[in-house]
Chain A
Amino acid sequence: MIEVKNISKSFDGQQVLTDISTVFEKGKTNLIIGQSGSGKTVLMKCCIGLFDVDSGKVVFEGLNFSALSERKKRETRKEMGVLFQGGALFDSYTVEENVMFPLNMFTKMSFEEKLDRVNDVLKRVNLDNANRKFPAELSGGMIKRVAIARAIAMNPKYLFCDEPNSGLDPKTAELIDALISELTQEYNMTTVINTHDMNSVLQIGQNIVFINKGRLWWEGNNKEILKTDNPELNEFVFATELTRRIKR
């Protein structure tokens, strides 16, 4: 469980997040939704401590993460898997080396065990023939999938995914959503996903927070979201022809 308590964040006077409080529950897929530029990525980076918050705190299982020293934060971070919006693969390493990287750093597994684990997670993201390729030789969707594989390689307690399925075809996108929600249940992870994909919202939105103009605008789940009368949320949800048809 991750508790976000009253966090605010600004950059050189530009207020990006204002007084956001919410709870990301364990064993559930928690979605942060909102328009492009609404502050989803900033909120996620505040949670993992890449941005220092101006005020408020983020609490991991009772531990006030925001107040920890950089060295202590490292311990909590070893239990996190993070998928960055751009993938952030190490470009001098192959796919295999990228996924194996956290295993090399933090486990005493033998090479064979590590390779098994790598192939296992790569298979789960439907990538079994790319071990020797470098990130520059991959398509955008493949980069995303390798990055997900790297994020889950260590069986993290907390999984953060910044737009895991943007840039993927609908079928792969659905597969990734299903994979993330499956892993969340299997390992009882606390999963936080940034997305503006309505299909993900409907498929895996067990707990949804809607951010608008840097404020928490609405909270609920994928059943409630279709019945909401919040005008800004309605505008977001029913922005596409597809969702409008579902409503009718």
Chain B
Amino acid sequence: MGLLQTIGDYVLLMIQTFRRPDKGKVFRKQLFIDFQHLGFDSIGIVAFISLFVGAIIAMQMAYNIDSPLVPLYLIGYTTKQMMILEISPTIMSLILAGKVGSSIASEIGTMRVTEQIDALKVMGINPANYLILPKITAAVIYNPILVIFSIGIGLFGGWVAVSITGITSPVDFVVGLQSWPAPFDIAYAMIKTVVFAFIIASVSGYKGYTVKGGSVEVGRASTKAVVTSSILIIVFDLLLTQMLLT
């Protein structure tokens, strides 16, 4: 199937998805379940990776900045900038694309091949709206929370690394964290995260929704969901950076 056809199908599915839910109460219940599934359950992995990456970046920065002419607080500052601008929004989104994307695609794909989506349809329900809208909503609300959390944990990881290894003083590190605060950087990170969250949930929803066949195809769709959303995340990262930071 051609790329244009796929994009067309995706847009049509999104039009079906973005309709008013049949019943607000049912939607809120689904949304709550998806918060739990897609958001809350990802806290552990996000915390773990952010902590380590923050520590590693601080150590790499210290390794790079060993000229006596460069002030040591730059270690804290560059760690902060890297976490906010790229590591937390983009790398965490890529990790969530793997975790959340595959789970969305396989859940919806399984419902497709076991005729559960047909069952919804013949009950008079709009299955795209019922299944995909809560997932997109959950991801778009929860991923920014996870990214803020990831920034915090990452900087803490850097501080811990600095304190343990003694490459610079923790006080200098904290001074670095506090220098040149740029609220727009946070806004840029949040805009990216929301766009990436939408990509992850909608692309994976589409891949699951359009599965044809059996369990093998469900597995394949879930792999494709991760690959496609990862590629799109990187492409949109470049586009958004070009639009917002230059």
Contact = CB atoms under 8 A, between A and B. Distances in A.
Q: Do A and B come from the same complex? A: yes
Interface of A: 48-50, 74-78, 80, 82, 84, 86, 88-91, 101-102, 104-106
B215 to A, nearest CB: 13
Interface stretch (B56-64, B79-87, B115-123, B193-201): B115-123
Contacts of B25: 104
B126 interface: yes
Contacts of B26: 104-105
B124 A77 contact: yes
B123 A88 contact: no
B122 A91 contact: no
Interface string B102-131: 000000001100111011011111100000
Interface string B58-98: 00000000000000000000000000000000000000000
B115 A105 contact: no
Q: Which bucket holds chain B's interface residue count?
A: 10 to 19
A80 B118 CA distance: 13
Contacts of A89: 116, 119
Contacts of A82: 119, 122-123
Interface in B15-29: 22-23, 25-26
A197 B25 CA distance: 42
B123 A78 contact: yes
24 contacts: A48-B122, A49-B122, A50-B122, A74-B124, A74-B126, A75-B124, A77-B123, A77-B124, A78-B123, A80-B123, A80-B124, A82-B122, A84-B118, A88-B115, A89-B119, A90-B111, A91-B110, A101-B123, A104-B23, A104-B25, A105-B22, A105-B23, A105-B123, A105-B124
A106 B23 CA distance: 8
Nearest to B107: A92
Contact of A77 (B22, B115, B116, B121): B121
